[in-house]
Amino acid sequence: MSVDDKRQYHTGLERSQIGNAEFAILPGDPGRVPELAKALDKNARAIHMHREYNSWMVIVDSVPVLVCSTGIGGPSTAIAVEELAQLGVKNFIRVGTTGSIQKDIEFGDIVISLAAVRLDGASTHYAPIEYPAVASLWLTNALVNAAEKLKIPFHVGITASSDTFWPGQERYDNYSGYVLRRFQGSVEEWRKLNVTNFEMEAATLFTMCSAFGLSAACLCGVIAKRTESEEVNLEAYAVAFSRLAKIIRGAIINHPDYP
């Protein structure tokens, strides 16, 4: 498939729609794309919507940036990364929400992932399980530097990426009320191993980009403190979202010369 004249099958995007954009911001939820895009650029414009892939273009300090949702989980994220890479995107920043499992991580704080525990299946289609799921150093540092300059509370740590929202993250409020034995006690184990939070896409993104020679980073806003309860704090979402958008914008504006 030529990237010059062919529309990508799943995202529905063509090279002409994204121009020479080398940055892609990847929220999971298609519904969050317009809000995020407009927070980055008041002149943001929608370019295509197909399946779970809602795509908008923004300009951040003269840098063209694609904002494209991935849907939930590794498989749909893998498709987005594959197709966007074919269109020339080299730098991928996942942005989303998360539940923290460390007591010192508060509602609205930002977690910047240094690496991810591979509790997914999609990443194993790109590299064996012994292969680490690690973020790109320069891109992660750009996010950290932006958060520091903005004085936004953040934590850098290892994220657990699960293919499932319920059993893989040891939630017992699922339909059956049962969690496989391999996951029983897993939250406490990850906590003791200094894992900071759970989400569902970073492991796939990190593994793919490392294997492809591309750059990837991930930052998530905390909307649930699982050290206290399973409840989602909707007020924290608004705070976290504003902080996430500011960090992303700051990282792109002040990014160093990248590979």
Q: Which of 32, 94, 118, 226 is catalytic?
A: 226
- The CA-CA-CA angle for residues 254, 248, 246, to 5°, reads 100
Rounded Cα–Cα distance for residues 157 and 113 (Å): 5
Determine which helix (DSSP H) or strand (DSSP E) holds 96, and give its type and residue range: strand 91-100
- The CA-CA-CA angle for residues 217, 66, 97, to 5°, reads 45
Q: Which residue has tokens 């940036």?
A: 65
Q: Which of 10, 50, 51, 191 is catalytic?
A: 10
Examine the residue annotation and report whether 32 is marked as an active-site residue of this protein.
no
Q: Which of 15, 22, 52, 83 is catalytic?
A: 83
Examine the residue annotation and report whether 7 is marked as an active-site residue of this protein.
no
Name the residue among 122, 198, 190 with its Cα closest to residue 166: 198
Local structure of 258: helix, strand or coil: coil
Examine the residue annotation and report whether 83 is marked as an active-site residue of this protein.
yes
Q: Which of 171, 243, 249, 255 is catalytic?
A: 171
Q: Which residues, in sequence order, are bridge partners of residue 222?
A: 98
- Angle at which helix 137-150 crosses helix 234-253, to 10 degrees, equals 110
Examine the residue annotation and report whether 189 is marked as an active-site residue of this protein.
no
Q: Which residue has tokens 């694609």?
A: 66
Determine which helix (DSSP H) or strand (DSSP E) holds 217, and give its type and residue range: strand 215-225
Give the number of other Cβ atoms within 10 Å of residue 239's Cβ.
Answer: 18
Catalytic residues: 10, 83, 171, 226
